[in-house]
Structure 1
């Protein structure tokens, strides 16, 4: 049994309440009348916040889904070859720092005889991927105290910097704005060079002097506007302020390239470098020269190989741990988003062009310079890297999304099925039982599920308890909430402190669960009947049909109610006394269940934990004491009849009751025989 399946099963308790309207997961826009009128129904279920699996070591050979994805990706990469304008490429995929796919296709030079294919050690110009080194430099200087704040103005480092502002908004160009393409600076520096020998034969002083007569293209902090000028200024001005005896190029070589052992990466195109460099071609298929960017070199001068780019990507995937280049905290800052673009998918960072794909934020930096294209991408959450370098200029749109669609959809299921159970204590019986608060109002059940401990906090929320030591567990919330509620609840990873185990009883007498505001909503003391989860599936179906399918509206509008329940019963999963009743998502059953709530004057609330029952069954017979292992019913506002701020009897509830009663709960253990 793996954690993924356990999490899914443990999540069922909240799912049913969200579907049936017993808790705050119900969408306010859901209207029963529109369902009965056969209008288009919007599923009231929220989208649960996904939990990403840990990137564990993979078996050898690789699982079939991953092998198939790599095969498809290899075929896709080869289709990018254009014999005229993009005749050669090299690419690779790595997982946990180990290369699992290499592709070399086309030729290094169209005129070479015999033709040679590029490989992972072939040198290509990387264009704007060079900007990554500018940002590493910036954060190194920030960590060492040479830069006081990312929000300092660039004029602190380029002392005579100024540029005209045609906008009415006051604008101070800062390091952070420049690093995240939000400064509003023009794209290109005023270089006055050529693209044959030296594209920018100027000094910093000359560039700054020329900028005084130029204008911002947009106010800062509005939306990204790509600026090579911004990155060239950052690289040149920061290092010149740091030391007059070195250059930006020398600083990067000493402080970044050498520590990363990127032996085939640099700025200067020596004869030995040229001999290993794939020839670049323009759109017409003509060879291009390896011209120098001069003063603008920080923005795009560099060359590298796929193997060296993989080293850089792994540096970021490991958050710099163990490299001695930049501390993990600063690397993590580098990877944060700075601006979410209007399409809701594209995200800008420092210096990343990122994208949300299948709940993952893929970091990437593309580079295009005359005759070459390249893309460095990585995904720390899955420890994946994908690099592609091309001897030609091609649009990079789609070069990112398709590969990661393949990789994510292959890796996530495989890794999810490999996730281990949360650690459990060697003596789970010391913790299992029903606990109640000192006021005697609430019961909280600790139980064992698939060899893991779990804590039912409310009738709708249960968490796994991950063992740390004999008196300390960490709460692990299943993916049963939308992301905003998942974060606001603050329940995940909270520590649960158990009291010392009693030597006579062998049980812990209580525990403390520090404040989780917003998670435990106000609970109404209930005398309402509940449908009892039963290990006898036939009996449970009968109860559902009896209550949910007998109202007039259900008979009129849901004639196949019984069939719906029978169909849903196929999804019922029982695991003995610790089982959970899995409610289905069929609209007709939801209508039937909703009708039960809407029409029954007592507003009966479906209870889904197979081990939990109230004091009576539906037929009114008393339940045995062994069933009383955490019974509770939660009644919420249903079908716009009850205000979320009132009790069922109409009395106003305080806001503090609705968002969490106290910052810490103490529970006393109550033995259940």
Structure 2
């Protein structure tokens, strides 16, 4: 049935159906705290840029009986979620013209970049394309040979090591997870900015504009005092809070999951005794941030379990909140009979509250289209522009003899009425999204002969 997804309309909270779902999410996460090694957990659910719910569990320091509970401002290390920031940098520099094209090879910005490709299926010009590096399609190894994931060498040292390294897969042919690709992208591009430094660029161009004051790179004594216990390693991965990550909604190194008919885009990170997930469901404008001090609990995925509760609840709430057809200030200019090339005929009619509907009629329509789907609502947007609405639920396509009528294609299309004539009537309309033009007004209701 269509529409496959409800419109993300504003909701008047609290809503019982969402309250029940959030209570179940709270229960799922609370039970997960019994997993070995999990000291603290913070989570935030966002809808339409509004925080619907926050949950904080465990103790900020699980080894200290006197430690208090975490909150949405407790800091956690976010490991691979930080890969979002080099991608934001790439797109911003492209918008500013510093990066000429997303298809540029990295060697345009780092002349000494080279790596062996023993597979040889793509040309040298296709190796190190920056959009491929940002989407796990570069073919670069996960990390530099003979180094750890937290290696702190310079960009030039990394480029020197790559000269004797090899690609793992041919670029652009399949995904291969590469931390190295994002590190190179970040530090090579940063050298072409006014800041000249990746961390400084991120701070000035992403964190400060979004008000992400509790996100950064350096584990200073002040940061360590706010960090949930779970730190077992070294290096300088980023840290953040659930509240800060709730402000972040763009980026490209996503992992895609299908769940309940929706595409869930998420980025997970697991490193040094911490686990983190930043996830979004774009059609619903729904997001979930989950930060843990400790390893990700075994068993069913916590984020998937949470969405199993949230998705049907929010979908139901949105469908029930969808507005009815909005009437224009006056129905008279648009009401009447119209035809497209004397093949298809329409009646635009006003309802009791002035709302308009568009009814298809005529021998051809009556022979092929079921009565329930001959009339579509016209929701007034502004001026002479309306939007077609089929119904709250309808079949995505209808069989019409040896062809199909796509109701899904009609739903949501814009109807643009022509300027009013000297009688104050619109002489016709177009539906550009359906490639339908010059639907013209008739002087009277047509009569059909059998």
Q: Secondary structure at the match of 2:173?
A: coil
Higher fraction of strand: 2
1:292 to 213, 235, 245: 235
The answer to whether the aligner puts 1:253 opposite 2:170 as a matched pair is no
The answer to whether the aligner puts 1:185 opposite 2:140 as a matched pair is yes
1:9-48 correspondence runs (5 A) = 47-48=1-2
1:402 to 290, 305, 309: 305
Q: Secondary structure at the match of 1:93?
A: strand
Equivalent residue, structure 2, for 1:174: 129
**Shift in alpha-carbon separation, 1:159–1:488, aligned structure 2, 3 A:** farther
CA distance in 2, matches of 1:467, 1:90: 43
CA distance in 1, matches of 2:49, 2:345: 48
**Shift in alpha-carbon separation, 1:260–1:355, aligned structure 2, 3 A:** same
CA distance in 2, matches of 1:410, 1:482: 26
User: What is the TM-score of this pair, normalised by structure 1?
Assistant: 0.58
Over the aligned positions, Cα root-mean-square deviation in angstroms equals 3.0
CA distance in 2, matches of 1:669, 1:360: 47
CA distance in 1, matches of 2:337, 2:259: 42
1:44-193 correspondence runs (5 A) = 47-59=1-13, 62-82=14-34, 84-171=36-123, 172=126, 173-190=128-145, 192=147
Spell out, residue by residue over 1:107-128, the C-alpha distance to the aligned partner (whole angstroms, 9 max, x if none).
2223213132221111110000
Deviation at 1:502, TM superposition (A): 6.3
**Shift in alpha-carbon separation, 1:137–1:356, aligned structure 2, 3 A:** same
Say which one has the larger Rg.
1
User: What is the TM-score of this pair, normalised by structure 2?
Assistant: 0.85
* Contact 2:379 2:386 (8 Å CA) reproduced: yes
- Report runs of 4+ in structure 1 exceeding 6 Å deviation: none
**Shift in alpha-carbon separation, 1:414–1:488, aligned structure 2, 3 A:** closer
Deviation at 1:177, TM superposition (A): 0.4
**Shift in alpha-carbon separation, 1:513–1:393, aligned structure 2, 3 A:** same
* Contact 2:39 2:229 (8 Å CA) reproduced: no
The answer to whether the aligner puts 1:497 opposite 2:417 as a matched pair is yes
* Contact 1:436 1:444 (8 Å CA) reproduced: yes
Q: Secondary structure at the match of 1:670?
A: coil
Equivalent residue, structure 1, for 2:277: 375
**Shift in alpha-carbon separation, 1:225–1:432, aligned structure 2, 3 A:** same
Q: Secondary structure at the match of 1:445?
A: strand
Deviation at 1:162, TM superposition (A): 1.1
* Contact 1:191 1:200 (8 Å CA) reproduced: no
**Shift in alpha-carbon separation, 1:202–1:431, aligned structure 2, 3 A:** closer
* Contact 1:475 1:491 (8 Å CA) reproduced: yes
**Shift in alpha-carbon separation, 1:263–1:516, aligned structure 2, 3 A:** closer
Spell out, residue by residue over 1:89-141, the C-alpha distance to the aligned partner (whole angstroms, 9 max, x if none).
11121333332322211122232131322211111100001111111111111
1:288-367 correspondence runs (5 A) = 288-289=232-233, 291-293=234-236, 301-313=237-249, 316=250, 334=251, 350-367=252-269
How many residue pairs get aligned? The number is 425
Deviation at 1:434, TM superposition (A): 3.2
Q: Secondary structure at the match of 1:167?
A: coil
1:223 to 143, 164, 174: 174
Equivalent residue, structure 2, for 1:212: 163
Deviation at 1:71, TM superposition (A): 0.3
* Contact 2:105 2:129 (8 Å CA) reproduced: yes
The answer to whether the aligner puts 1:237 opposite 2:188 as a matched pair is yes
The answer to whether the aligner puts 1:481 opposite 2:396 as a matched pair is yes
CA distance in 2, matches of 1:309, 1:502: 57
* Contact 1:456 1:463 (8 Å CA) reproduced: yes
| Contiguous gaps of at least 5 residues in structure 2 | 399-403
CA distance in 2, matches of 1:470, 1:99: 34
Deviation at 1:472, TM superposition (A): 4.1
Deviation at 1:672, TM superposition (A): 8.3
CA distance in 1, matches of 2:154, 2:219: 21
**Shift in alpha-carbon separation, 1:669–1:514, aligned structure 2, 3 A:** farther
**Shift in alpha-carbon separation, 1:117–1:50, aligned structure 2, 3 A:** same
Q: Secondary structure at the match of 1:246?
A: coil
Q: Secondary structure at the match of 1:84?
A: coil
**Shift in alpha-carbon separation, 1:256–1:464, aligned structure 2, 3 A:** same
CA distance in 2, matches of 1:381, 1:495: 23
Deviation at 1:259, TM superposition (A): 1.4
